[in-house]
Chains A and B, each alone.
Chain A
């Protein structure tokens, strides 16, 4: 810790020093007070409130009424919720695998400083500066038949034969559109995080391995990956959490279609709350989703600790 006590000359008598230390504790608490207020008011209270709401019939307008455990019981009959949960899971697996592979690949490409690498890093990271909702609209236009170049380019290259309606044609093309969008928007950001892990590995470790005659694949498997475990865990957590909470990409790009095939869990929460006007039921789904995420994070941390 940096400062247990204020800088004090050792000749001072004990009592004023302690008083000064006490005052300093209060001053510290005072500086932390705005943080405590915002965290308490806008995080802790809503966290309790969402659990409380899930126990009530809570219409958007009008007084709430205790009805536990009806909101939770009703979840099992909700067909759309089941479809959405299954779809969200599938999406999470696909995105996490592809995004991780791409981000790691990019990080390896730009890990050593040389001519042009700075430009490459900027190019890969630049999409992250654009808002995700903006990026979704960008892809909507790019994949559209009206003004989008994608169909025409693919046709010219000979990969495509005739017109494909990417975002609404079929469940698979709709999912593919969203995955492409997410890869483009987030690969650079995750690349940057992975790069910090890569660069934290001391160079002599690599040199020692090379002297021992290790191949580059062996070095990658036995040195790079194990030494980057914490960073990899962080990136995977961000990807899984982000994918389980997917909203913008489906709300904007596919509108959850065709036939609700790309409706995500958070879209169901939104729908319950602001279309069905049933906040209690939306809160119940939120609580379940929250529980799943906390279990996931705890398991993940536990695995990390056991291996390390």
Chain B
């Protein structure tokens, strides 16, 4: 009985995803790619530059997050320096100050430094939102590395950067996978930050373009094309998640939520 309820629940959770994929191919007369072709050709749909913009924002955000969180995690996990605890707490405080409340200020600030309506500016903001989770995660990963590993490299004549690249990076790989996947899932599907920070339609990410098909249409909404957009956006996330699930969930459960 318990098993049956659990299975029914699982089906209930999977149903919307399966339905969306089904509806994206469904046409009044059968199944075809018609909805997708409307998605990519209609005035309000996805254009090539939107795909490019989404990929660019994801690459910049994932890359930037990985680099900054690796260096920062190394610093917090392996070094003592002035202001260490203050900076760590300040980074975690980003979680306490939800970003919707500072996006108005970020919009003005990015304008001042010449990054208005810019993919680089958007990525910088997305990196900042990723930092509390990523720094916490990477600090724990670096702290868990046994001291002997570092000492051996030190005797072999490595500097601190050599130790990082030759010895440590390999050891913190599970943490990097979790941080990178999390940054990708967020940046690929983020809606509110790009909505505020990007103004011109040729700078839109795919997410903005697809939502635009709903919000910019005053008449009938093209639901089938909308579901094609949802499916098109979701497939990379679902595949990547299923592929990396094991290390993602393990990293998530051991590193991110300890303590």
Contacts and interface: CB of A to CB of B under 8 A. Distances in A.
A133 B211 contact: yes
Contact of A126 (B6, B14, B26, B98): B14
B40 to A, nearest CB: 16
B108 A35 contact: no
A27 interface: yes
A74 interface: no
Interface residues of A, number: 94
Contact of A7 (B93, B150, B207, B253): B150
Contacts, number: 278
Contacts of B177: none
Q: Is the interface of A mostly helix, strand, loop or mixed?
A: helix
Interface stretch (A10-18, A221-229, A286-294): A286-294
Contact of B71 (A32, A279, A294): A32
A303 interface: no
A106 interface: yes
A245 B103 CA distance: 12
B215 A266 contact: no
Contact of A28 (B80, B135, B196): B80
A25 B78 CA distance: 10
Residue among A141, A187, A252, A270 having the largest count of chain B Cβ atoms under 10 Å:
A141
Closest 5 CB pairs of A and B: A131-B189, A28-B79, A133-B191, A31-B75, A35-B72
21 contacts: A3-B78, A7-B154, A28-B80, A32-B75, A35-B87, A39-B131, A41-B124, A42-B128, A43-B128, A47-B105, A116-B3, A119-B10, A123-B11, A129-B185, A133-B207, A138-B16, A142-B20, A184-B13, A187-B13, A270-B195, A283-B104
Interface of B: 2-3, 5-7, 9-11, 13-14, 16-17, 19-20, 23, 26, 67-69, 71-72, 74-84, 87, 90-91, 93-94, 96-98, 100-102, 104-109, 124-125, 127-128, 131, 135, 143, 147, 150-151, 154, 160, 185, 188-192, 195-196, 207, 210-211, 214-215, 220-221, 223-224, 226-227, 229-230, 233-234, 237-238, 240-242, 245, 249, 252-253, 257
Given A28-B80, A123-B13, 11 more contacts: A3-B150, A25-B79, A110-B6, A131-B185, A131-B237, A133-B207, A137-B214, A144-B223, A248-B192, A255-B215, A286-B102
